[in-house]
Amino acid sequence: MESGRRRSLTVFDAHCDSLTNVEDLSVLLEERQEGHWDLSRFVRGGGRWQVLAVFTPPRYRGKEAFLFAVAHVEKALEWMEASSRHLRLILSKRDLRDDGRVGILLALEGASPLIGRVDLLRIFFRLGVRLITLTWNYGNELADGVGVSDPKGLTEAGRKVVDACQNLGIAVDVSHLSLPSFISLMEVAEKPVIASHSNFYSLCPHRRNLTDKQALQIARRGGVIGLTFVPEFVGGGANRFLDHFFHGLQLVDQDHLAVGSDFDGCTNPVYPDASHYADLDQDLKKRGVPITVRDRFFSKNLLKFFKSVLPP
Ligand SMILES: [Zn+2]
């Protein structure tokens, strides 16, 4: 029962950019004045699991992109090792079990560091990367992003990398992916895929949002859509965000929606920082969303998704 007792919210957030937004990662352990995400605010907000992305800026290509991403993954690993009392790296299904620490799932946002090579993917897997957003807004060796003017489907290298991701146990993320690349991905993907930080195009016609057809395809294949707080993709403030939630609830149902804030990857998110998930929970409660549905939205759906994708 919900009434009486204070609800203990547990949150799994599918996208955050702090790793490549902050020079000295040690500042993320304590409450800081700038930015949206740090461990202190995240835990206070109910945070238990966070996908942290290494975003490789598009000015880096080829070996430069690889070196940039490897260096940032190493920096993240050092940070987590130094903070192992508070943080644990999620490598397998087993690591999703709650042991009191915040679970960090390492991601690459944009696959340019792979230079289209499966052996480099395997290196990132060995380093602990468990989610790859295939493109950022531009194209790379694997696929075309939403900013490409005449986008194509997955390349041959893209198909091989997707195949290898699914065999190794790396989640494939379609946020930022162009429609032709999305369509060809869905032809070859055998495991569920995720849209880690996208909303609904039918409510906010932005190129970064998913059409209803895309959302349904993701859901039918057992995937998850991480609704994002980016105001440009919401098309308004917190109230409009709730409209996206209810649209998703009707369209793909309660089993396929999650949170993908994009904290530290945007300006003026509709919920201001990682200590404010409870505000969203309250807003949903006020609009009559039952606790079982909210629990799925805030963590259970992502836990289930990663259990179906990660290595045992
Ligand atoms: Zn992004």
CA of residue 110 to ligand 1 center, whole Å? 9
In-domain check, residue 3: no
CA of residue 312 to ligand 1 center, whole Å? 28
Residue numbers of the domain that contains 64: 11-309
C-alpha 290/C-alpha 292 separation (Å) is 5
Q: What integer pLDDT is reported at residue 47 of this predicted model?
A: 96
CA distances from 99 to 4, 73, 85, 306, 307 (A): 27, 23, 11, 17, 16
For the chain, the residue count is 312
pLDDT tens-place string over residues 153-163: 999 999 999 99
pLDDT band at 143; cut points 50, 70, 90: very high
Instruction: Compute the average pLDDT of residues 51-56.
Output: 98
pLDDT tens-place string over residues 167-180: 999 999 999 999 99
CA of residue 7 to ligand 1 center, whole Å? 31
CATH of residue 180's domain is: 3.20.20.140
CA of residue 134 to ligand 1 center, whole Å? 11
CA of residue 262 to ligand 1 center, whole Å? 7
pLDDT tens-place string over residues 94-103: 999 989 999 9
> Looking at the 3D structure of the chain, how many domains does it have?
1
Residue 243: what are its φ and ψ, rounded to 5°?
Answer: -60, -40
CA of residue 98 to ligand 1 center, whole Å? 27
In-domain check, residue 1: no
In-domain check, residue 6: no
pLDDT tens-place string over residues 235-291: 999 999 999 999 999 999 999 999 999 999 999 999 999 999 999 999 999 999 999
Q: What integer pLDDT is reported at residue 5 of this predicted model?
A: 55
The answer to whether residues 194 and 224 touch, using CB atoms and an 8 Å cutoff, is yes
pTM of the model: 0.96
Determine what percent of the chain is predicted with pLDDT higher than 90: 96
Instruction: Compute the average pLDDT of residues 182-204.
Output: 97
CA of residue 276 to ligand 1 center, whole Å? 20
pLDDT tens-place string over residues 199-228: 999 999 999 999 999 999 999 999 999 999
Average model confidence (pLDDT) for the chain? 96
CA of residue 3 to ligand 1 center, whole Å? 37
In-domain check, residue 280: yes
Q: What integer pLDDT is reported at residue 6 of this predicted model?
A: 62
In-domain check, residue 5: no
pLDDT band at 1; cut points 50, 70, 90: very low
Residue 191 has pLDDT above 50, yes or no: yes
Instruction: Compute the average pLDDT of residues 120-138.
Output: 98
In-domain check, residue 40: yes
CA of residue 221 to ligand 1 center, whole Å? 22
In-domain check, residue 185: yes
CA of residue 109 to ligand 1 center, whole Å? 7
CA of residue 234 to ligand 1 center, whole Å? 14
In-domain check, residue 102: yes
Output DSSP code: residue 278: H
